[in-house]
Amino acid sequence: MSAPCNVVVLISGSGSNLQALIDSLGEDNPTCIRAVISNRAEAFGLQRAGAAGIPTHVVQHKDFSDREAFDAALKTIIDEYSPHLVLLAGFMRILTPGFVRHYQGRLLNIHPSLLPKHKGLDTHRRALDAGDSEHGCSVHFVTEELDGGPVALQAVFTIGNENSIDALTSRVHAAEHVIYPLAVRWFAEGRLRLASEGAMLDGVLLPVTGHLIRI
């Protein structure tokens, strides 16, 4: 069994991805969630963390005069846990370049589209408006380019007749809950890493869309 991989999770809302990560933990999984931090005191994910016995912190962006000050406070708390990996799980803040560089290669995000398509917000509506035949979600390393870092893993599905935003949202969420814990586990096991050329799995450079799982 591998040594524990200390993880800190950043959230802003419901935390269903956090819950999927918590549910994936077990004796044969080296991942250990050390703390959950939210920029919103009312985030339901804080209750999920509390129920799992995970320490929580609230760092409210509205209490800081600028992004640099907020990110510095966030970084101070995160680094108290000496994390091997920091996860953005529905964390709705744009991070400063200095923060992102500090966690280079150990900062992952889950994004609700098939990157590099539909970076940013409103991804389900934009997939429908574009007439996409497929949709899905991506786990990627975070770099200074918003939603632009190397993709590790994607779940893809055919849109078919489910042409409402609600239907796509549910399908993407279900897919996220599969691929985020899987990518985190790969990282914790030392199988997934960021190299200068891109994301690598088991020593092999992944394509720009990452490892693909069709669901």
- Catalytic residue annotation: 111
Q: Which residue is nearest to ligand GRF (CB)?
A: 90
Answer whether 81's CB lies under 8 Å from 34's CB: yes
Per rule CB under 6 A, count of chain residues that contact ligand GRF: 14
**Helix locations, 80-205, DSSP H:** 97-102, 123-129, 165-188
Site for ligand GRF in 98-157 (CB under 6 A): 110-112, 137
Which of 121, 123, 67, 129 lies closest to 98, judged by CA?
67
What phi and psi, each to the nearest 5 degrees, are found at residue 208?
-60, -25
Give whichever of 45 and 149 is closer to ligand GRF, judged by the CB atom: 45
The one-letter amino acid at 126: R
Binding residues for (6R)-10-formyltetrahydrofolate: 67, 92-95, 109
Per DSSP, the three-state class of 189 is: coil
Structure tokens at 57: 């912190």
**Binders in 158-197 for ligand GRF, by CB under 6 A:** 173, 176
DSSP 8-state class, residue 210: -
- Residue 16 found at the interface with ligand GRF (CB under 6 A): yes
Q: CB 48 → ligand GRF: shortest distance, Å? A: 9
- Considering the complex, what minimum distance in angstroms separates the CB of residue 119 from ligand GRF? 12
CB 154 within 8 A of CB 210: yes
Q: Give the one residue of 30, 90, 136, 149 binding ligand GRF; rule: CB under 6 A.
A: 90
- Pick between residue 30 and residue 112 the one whose CB is nearest to ligand GRF: 112
Of 91, 122, 87, 113, the residue nearest 192 (C-alpha)? 87
By beta-carbon proximity to ligand GRF, the closer residue of 14 and 72 is 14
How many angstroms separate the CA atoms of 52 and 50, rounded? Answer: 5
Annotated binding site: 15-17, 67, 92-95, 109
The residues that touch ligand GRF, with contacts defined as CB under 6 A, are 13-17, 45, 89-90, 110-112, 137, 173, 176
